[in-house]
């Protein structure tokens, strides 16, 4: 769901006893000014959350009126990417950028970078830790989250690397966590081949 940011241009349709189409801009305070309704803070709300907030205000002012909010022109986002990337820094990026795309902006990872414990710090002080293997290996797009304005992406180092080779579908080096099980590691390599001898598995540390 789209997250509203500063300088976004929004469109609000009021349909009912007071039908009108309004052009709104999120100002630098994070607010929009809606005629007859006043100022509402929408910054960092998802589009759905902003829609519900506006509808609640509309219902208290106009009987039988529905509101429909859309994004007419999203603003650019300013994000920072630091840590083990080739070109750390602050970038102006498109409003739908994800973590993996942000790493590309910074010209990719350097050796020893972790893909499984990437931190995203937001301006409100919250921090999320992201495991990009869910996206890169298993195709779970929900783990490759979209970034908000002001987010800082921190790519940390890791020495937890294991090489999986033999009769598996994708032999290569993988990053592991201490909580990973043997089955998880085999899943990273996309499983055994049909003729693999699963009774003859060895480890070399």
pLDDT in tens, 56-85: 999 888 888 999 999 999 999 999 999 999
Q: Give tens-digit pLDDT for 27-60.
A: 999 999 998 889 999 998 999 999 999 999 998 8
| Cα–Cα dist 38/33, whole Å | 5
Phi, psi of 160 (to 5 degrees): -85, 80
pLDDT of residue 75: 92
Helix (H) or strand (E) holding 72: strand 66-73
Q: Can you tell me which residue has the tokens 């996206």?
A: 135
Residue 16, pLDDT score: 86
**Token match 């800082």: residue?**
152
C-alpha distance across the termini of the chain, in Å: 45
For residues 114 and 111, give the distance between their C-alpha atoms in angstroms, rounded to a whole number. Answer: 9
- Model confidence over 151-182: pLDDT tens digits? 999 999 999 999 988 888 899 999 999 899 98
Q: DSSP label at 154? A: E
pLDDT of residue 8: 94
Model pLDDT, residue 34? 92
pLDDT for residue 205 is more than 60: no
């Amino acid at each position: 769901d789209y997250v509203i940011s500063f300088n976004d241009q929004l469109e609000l349709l009021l349909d009912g006893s007071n039908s009108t189409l309004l052009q709104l801009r999120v100002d630098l305070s994070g607010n929009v000014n809606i005629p007859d309704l006043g100022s509402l803070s929408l910054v960092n709300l998802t589009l759905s959350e902003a829609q519900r907030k506006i509808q609640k205000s509309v219902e208290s002012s106009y009987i039988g009126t529905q509101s429909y909010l859309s994004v007419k022109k999203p603003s650019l986002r300013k994000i920072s990417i630091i840590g083990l990337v080739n070109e750390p820094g602050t970038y102006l990026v498109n409003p739908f950028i994800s973590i993996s795309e942000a790493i590309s902006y910074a010209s990719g990872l350097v050796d020893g970078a972790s893909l499984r414990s990437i931190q995203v710090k937001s301006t409100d002080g919250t921090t999320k830790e992201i495991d990009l293997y869910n996206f890169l290996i298993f195709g779970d797009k929900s783990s490759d989250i979209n970034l908000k304005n002001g987010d800082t992406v921190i790519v940390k180092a890791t020495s937890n690397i294991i090489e999986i080779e033999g009769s598996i579908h994708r032999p290569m080096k993988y990053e592991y966590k201490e909580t990973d099980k043997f089955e998880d590691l085999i899943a990273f390599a996309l499983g055994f081949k049909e003729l693999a001898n699963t009774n003859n598995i060895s480890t070399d540390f």
